[in-house]
Amino acid sequence: MPTGSYVVETTRTAEVAAGEQTDLWSERVGTYQTRMDYKYPRAEVFRGEMIRQRSDTYQVVTWHSDQIEYVRTPGLIRQMPDPDYRLLFPLSGELRLRQDDQEVRLTPGMGSLFTLGAPFELRHGASLRGVIMSIPAQEIDGPLNRKAPLATGLDLTKGLGRVVHSVMRSLNEERDHLTTPQFDAVCDRVVELLRMLACGDDRPGPPGQLTEVEAMVRRYVRDHAADPGLSGNSMARALGWSLRQIQLALQHVGTTPRDLIREERLRLVRERLLCTDCTHMTITDLAYASGFSSASAMSTAFHRRFGVSPREMRHKAR
């Protein structure tokens, strides 16, 4: 198994006695997700399996089980707040998600992006095989400039939705062959695509043109993040658009050229901190090699973004 903070874990209720199966499942779900109430039609026997992939930033769980209902009540939210989001979709069977007086019926090819910070009910039958990805709240609330649940259905059968679906399935299939930087990098791109997918219908103006500008800008920033001279003006000159066009395209997904550049540089630093080939680089080396003007500026921004210092993240990865 790859070293570092990336871990793959498997839980099977068949490995414990019949009377202990629901207890095991409830304990694992509570640990992997958050505190919930559970309704088991057959409490004496419960068949289920879940495969968990996780790093310090993201988690993906693929599971199948007997019929069950999960409930997150206002009381549980007060006792154990959790503002983070989940991408949820079935590979087979059907999921029913109810949140904010709206019910979404999810069948294969449909997904939902919803928050654990609001009450919900989730139920499915015994034929269900599903995927649920944990996404930090700041990845959704800030970029989309909203805090309301997004429990509406997402079409995963075409366009960006189909790309997300394909990447998520591949992420599970290749779970034993990934490193921490690789897992986080793939999850970063999935979240980026989800943001585009979730706000695509809200774009004013010519959607195709804005999407094209935004996609080109993101690729350019990703490829040139380590350049200390990268700025909105330099991007505009290189791509042949006006600065105003770039600002408008990024504004509709809740970011700015400066914020996007900083975000990509921080992701670059994180990948290098977790990379075994970069252990010879000091924190100052990493800062300058990733486009930051100083180690202190990088460390401050890094701690604000990931909740730990660069040194602490490097220590965790060893």
Domains parsed from the chain with CATH numbers: 7-165 (2.60.120.10), 203-317 (1.10.10.60)
Residues 170-178: what's their mean pLDDT?
95
* pLDDT at residue 144 tops 70: no
Residues 279-284: what's their mean pLDDT?
92
Residue 43: CA count within 13 A, CB half-sphere: 4
Helices H, strands E: what count in the chain? Answer: 12, 12
User: Could you report the per-residue pLDDT of 151-170, keeping only the tens digit for each?
Assistant: 457 889 988 889 999 999 99
Q: What single-letter amino acid sits at 247?
A: Q
* pLDDT at residue 207 tops 50: no
Distance from chain centroid for Cα 155: 17
* pLDDT at residue 2 tops 60: no
Nearest to 292 by CA among 314, 274, 266: 266
Q: Count Cβ atoms below 10 Å from residue 136 Cβ, excluding itself.
A: 17
Bridge-partner residues for 106, per DSSP?
95
Bridge-partner residues for 11, per DSSP?
50
pLDDT of residue 209: 59
Report the alpha-carbon distance of residue 192 to residue 143 in Å, rounded: 9
- State the residue for tokens 């774009």: 203
The per-residue pLDDT of the chain, averaged, comes to 87
- Residue 153 CB-density burial (10 A; 0-12 exposed, 13-18 middle, 19+ buried): middle
Q: Answer with the residue of higher pLDDT: 181 or 91.
A: 91
Give me the helices (H) in 49-155, please: 74-79, 137-144
Distance from chain centroid for Cα 94: 22
Q: Answer with the residue of higher pLDDT: 212 or 15.
A: 15
Residue 123: phi and psi, rounded to 5, are -140, 155
58-75 as b/e, with b when 16 or more CB fall inside 10 Å?
Answer: bbbbbbbbbebebebeee
Contact 94, 128 (CB under 8 A): yes
Going by pLDDT thresholds of 50, 70 and 90, the confidence category of residue 100 is confident
3-state secondary structure of 29: helix
Report the alpha-carbon distance of residue 224 to residue 264 in Å, rounded: 9
Residues 306-314: what's their mean pLDDT?
89
Bridge-partner residues for 38, per DSSP?
70
Contact 72, 116 (CB under 8 A): yes
Q: What is the DSSP letter of 88?
A: E
